Structure formats: C-alpha cells, structure tokens
Amino acid sequence: MNPAGKSPQPSDAPEITLPVKITVIVFWGMVLVGLLAAYPLLHSLEQNVALKYSANANHIAYAMDHLLLGKTEISQEQLEPTLTRLITETGISGMSLEHSGGTLRYGDTADHLATSARDASYGTSNGSLPAPPIRLTIFQPSITETMAVQRKHMVVSIGVTLLVFGLSLQWVLKKVLTQPFQRMMYAAQGITRGDLSQRFDEARADEFGFLARFINKALDYVTWQQAELRAALDRARASESALAKEKERAEVTLHSINDAVITTDENGAIEYMNPVAEALTGLTQNGAKGRVLKDAIKLVDEATRSVMENPVESCLRDNQPTESLDHVLLVRSDGQEIDIAHTAAPIRDRHGALIGAVVVIHDVRHSRLMARELSHQASHDELTGLYNRREFERQLRLAVASAKLDHRDHAMCYLDLDQFKVVNDTCGHFAGDELLRQFTALLQKHVRDSDVIARLGGDEFGILLRHCAMENATRLVTILIGKVRDFRFKWEKHTFDIGVSIGLVAVTEHNKDITEILSAADVACYAAKDAGRNRIHVHTADDNVLLRRQGEMQWVSRLGQALEENRFRLYCQPIVEVAGAHPHPEHYEILVRLEDEDG
C-alpha cells in the first residue's frame, strides 16, 4: 500500500484532470452568473451616475447662488477658490459662467463632455429689480464613457475574484480529490501488474473510504476465486494429462487391433479411423474426416448385389447397437470387394445423450473362403469337382418338391462307366482318376447349365435334368450316349473305348420320395448294362425287366440278411431216381432252403 503522503507518480500514470475540469466548470458557471448579475447592477449604476450628475449640478448651482447672494459684482480671483473646491468635491470636469458681461470658463470644458445648465442670480441693478441671472454650465464625462469605465472595472474585479476563487477551488479539490485518486490509481496499477496484495486506503470516512472498502472486498473475493480457479486449473491439467494418456492408450489399442474401427459424430460424419480401417477401406484419416460414412463406404449384399443400409444410419436412428447380416461386401473406391462382418454401437456422453457411433468392421475374407471351401467340400466330389451324393440327393429332393408344388416334370439319369475297372486294372488308379475327370468334362460340355451333375460312387454318376419331360430327356441322353461312344481315353500307349450304361427315371408329382427314384434309376441302369452296355433303359411302372431285376435285388437282400442271421438249411436229393439202386453221387443235387419267419 502506498503511504498516505504524496508518492512519485509512475511514468505511465494518467494525468489527474478531474479537479481542473471541476474548476473550469465552476469558473464558467460563476462567470455566467456574474454576467447575469452584472446587467441589473450596471443598469442601477447608470441610474446612480445620472442622479449623481444631476445632484452635482444642483449642488454647484446652489453653491454659486450662495456665493453671489447680495453681491453686485465679483472678480475671477474671488470665484476661483470656490470653483476649484466645487470641482474637487463633485468630481466634475469643468464649468462655464455666462452673463451679460461675458463668459468665464474654468476646468475642462471640451465639447465631448456632457453638460448640465443651471441659472444663478447675484444682487440687483437699481436696488429694486434683480440683476440678470448667470448661466451656469457644468461639464462632466458622458454617462456612456463613465459606464464603460465602470464596466471595465467591474469585469476586471469579477475576473480577479473568479481567478482567485478558481485557484483556491483547484487547490482544495486537489487536496480533496486528486491525492485520493492518485493513491487509488497507484494501487490499481499495482493490481493490474499482478500484485494482488495491493489494497485501497480504507481509513477515510468519506466516499473514498467506502469505495476502498467495497473494492478491497471485491479484490479479496477475486483473490479467493483466482486461488480456486488455479486449483481447478491444476485439477483440469491433471485430468487433461490423464485423458491424454488414456487417449494415447486408446489410440495405441485401436492401432494394434486387427479390426477396422471408425467413429462418427451424431450426424454420421467420420471423426476417426484406425490404420486397419484405412487399409481396409482405401481411405485416409485426413481425407475421410468430416465425410458422411454412408457416402464414403459402400456396402452391398453378396447375393442380390443391392446396396445395403449403412450400419451407422440404423444405429443413430434407433439408438441401438446393430450387427451385420451374412454375405455383406464392402466395395472400395477402386472396385475391390471385401467380405466383411460389422457391428455398430451408439456413443453417449456421461448424461446419456447420443453424441456419435462406433463401427467395427472385421475382414472375413479368409474365414468365408474357408467356409466356402468347407461347404464346397461337403457338397462336392474332390476328384471331379461335381456334386457328391449327399448334395445330389438334396437337389433331387428339391426337384421332387418342385414337381409336387409347381407340377413341373424333371428327369434323373443314373450313369455307370463300362470300362472303368479295365482302365484301373491296366493302367492304375491315376489313369482311372484321369478318366473320371475327362468323363466329367464330357458330361459338363453336353448338358445344360441348369442341369445338376453328381458323382454318386466310384464310376457312377447322376444327372438331374430340370424342367425336362421324358421325351426331351430321352433325346438328350441318346445324344450323350453317342458322344461317349465316340470318346477315346488315351493313357500312355493304351487307348480305351469307353461305354456308359444309363438308367432314366421321370421325376413327377407322383413320386413318393427320392429313395424310390434312386432305386428305380439304379435298377434301370443295371438293366441297361445287362442289355449289352452303352445303352439307355427308361424306367416305366410296368417294366417287366425292371420288376424282375427288383425281385432279384430283393432276393439278394434277403439272402444277405439270412447269411447274417444263419437261417439256411442244406438238403440233398437225387436228380434221377433208379428203382432198387442207389444213385451215383453225381446224380445228386444240393438244395438250399431259406427258413423264413413263417417256417
């Protein structure tokens, strides 16, 4: 705190002009008041001057009457002392006396002076009549000149009075206002320089003391607030440091994971992408930031090729996490398509308000490729690449359902290679595998794209002719037989003619199930083989050959089962009976009897 006494003024301290301003205001106010008061004063003074001039003239005329009273004549020497005394007493400039004998002038009788005329008488000429009067003219300054001098004196007097009053007022104001203001300014300047220990003087009992106490309380509160703010700032800096560490840790985590992570604001605009996301989408963090995710990334359905809704849209709209369906493709700007799986979740602030979304995209190309390979392996033959038996049965089951539902007829072919075992035994299994591959290529070349080809066994194949009536199916299979007949398989120095036996079965709404169809096709195929190979046998409901074949197959099944269950009995009986003689052993036959459940 500055001492109560006068302190040296800092170089940057402002000039204290308030006392001067107050003094100037008061000075000119008093000048205005003085001017307003001077007008009636001067008017009264002018009247007094006029009265004084008239009184002077009357006084001089009375004095002259008294001097000349009873005298018949008087000399100039006699008049001079009296005139001098009257001029001195009244302050007039001069006078003149006119009578029959001439004019006597005494003092200043210039023409520019104001005059007042009076008559004075002195004695009589014959003792009975009065003598002619003396014309007395009194010369005085004009009232205008007198008033001008009076105004000048008044202005000077007022000016001197006001000047003295102003200087005195300024000195008083300097003591009363300037010094307290200076002390407050010095304290304020110290505060502005950061010295919060500065305080204003509270010792005064006037307004300055009250203001000082008020400001000091405000300074104490500001100091306390600054301490609180400093502490809060320290806490904020500590929190900021912790948040920076957490952010760095989170970024390191996001950089290290193998999934693509993208965050958006509440409008779906991209805010962050980790390096995996940049590599996966072909975008850069700087290039994608601020772009709407649905415009930056295109997702399509693998099966329908239709554009799919961006996960962020549904997540922000429903305010709920979302997961991708299967078969989602991410289409990059360069046209590359990537199999992905994605999830999206809303981001909320501590009050629960939605502020954005995070999308995690997983590259599933490898897993889906493996799944496709496994699915392919599960439904295809490894050697030929055709459908296997299980998948063929599934396709056949669909065809049966289609025939029942849509009343569309299909046809099924059961094919058996005739020379496959010969090739295997002659040239080995590698040659047999190559024969199967070439035969597969021949089939694929001469059937329709809509048809289904499968390898059902070692050298057995199946063809499902979709939406094909038996007439057309017979014609197609006949052509296929001809192509196979013309086919020659070459392996090293060997050349083989390949034949094929085909059983053809209609697939209609009257079929019970695929077991019936497969059994009929198998029987028809073997019927074709029994008929001389490289033939076609078309299955019909009243086919005697097939009925006999089915009966034989049933007996084979029964015999196999009986062998397993040991239900056979052997009997011997002679072929030719000779009376009274035993037959020769060659004339006997062995009979095998199957004992059924009914004995």
Q: What is the mean pLDDT of the chain?
A: 79
Phi, psi (deg, nearest 5) at residue 560: -60, -45
Task: Specify whether the backbone of 527 is left (phi greater than 0), alpha (psi in -120 to 50) or beta.
Answer: alpha
Q: Which helix (H) or strand (E) holds 506?
A: strand 500-507
What pLDDT, on the 0 to 100 scale, is given for residue 555? 59
Phi, psi (deg, nearest 5) at residue 480: -65, -40
Which of 155, 214, 156, 163 is closest to 184 using CA atoms? 214
Are 556 and 497 within 8 A, CB to CB?
Answer: no
The mean-pLDDT minimum among 9-18, 26-35, 161-170, 465-474 falls in: 9-18
Report the distance separating Cα 462 and Cα 398, nearest Å. 15
For the stretch 380-418, pLDDT in tens is 999 999 999 999 999 999 999 999 888 889 999 999 998
Q: Which helix (H) or strand (E) holds 285?
A: helix 285-288
Report the distance separating Cα 163 and Cα 452, nearest Å. 127
Report the distance separating Cα 449 and Cα 461, nearest Å. 17
DSSP annotation string for 435-470 = HHHHHHHHHHHHS-TTSEEEE-SSSEEEEEETT--H
Query: Is the per-residue pLDDT at 574 higher than 70?
Result: no
Query: Is the per-residue pLDDT at 546 higher than 60?
Result: no
Query: Is the per-residue pLDDT at 4 higher than 50?
Result: no
283 class by beta-carbon count within 10 Å (0-12 exposed, 13-18 middle, 19+ buried): buried
DSSP annotation string for 16-64 = --HHHHHHHHHHHHHHHHHHHHHHHHHHHHHHHHHHHHHHHHHHHHHHH
Mean pLDDT of 200-226: 77
Are 116 and 137 within 8 A, CB to CB?
Answer: yes
Report the distance separating Cα 334 and Cα 367, nearest Å. 23
Report the distance separating Cα 421 and Cα 159, nearest Å. 148
For the stretch 461-481, pLDDT in tens is 999 999 999 999 999 999 999
Confidence band of 340 (pLDDT split at 50, 70, 90): confident
Confidence band of 7 (pLDDT split at 50, 70, 90): very low
Q: Is 328 helix (H, G, I), strand (E, B) or coil?
A: strand
- Top pLDDT among 234 and 128 is at 234
What pLDDT, on the 0 to 100 scale, is given for residue 19? 65
Confidence band of 599 (pLDDT split at 50, 70, 90): very low
The mean-pLDDT minimum among 143-147, 152-156, 206-210 falls in: 206-210
Tokens representing residue 31 in the block: 């000048």
Confidence band of 3 (pLDDT split at 50, 70, 90): very low
Confidence band of 594 (pLDDT split at 50, 70, 90): low
Report the distance separating Cα 308 and Cα 306, nearest Å. 6
Where are the extended beta strands (E) located within 337-392? 337-348, 354-363
Contacts with 42 (C-beta within 8 Å, 6 or more apart), sequence order? 147, 150, 151, 154
Report the distance separating Cα 323 and Cα 529, nearest Å. 57
Report the distance separating Cα 425 and Cα 496, nearest Å. 12
Confidence band of 2 (pLDDT split at 50, 70, 90): very low
Cα–Cα separations (whole angstroms), residue 27 to 34, 161, 177: 10, 10, 18
- Top pLDDT among 162 and 499 is at 499
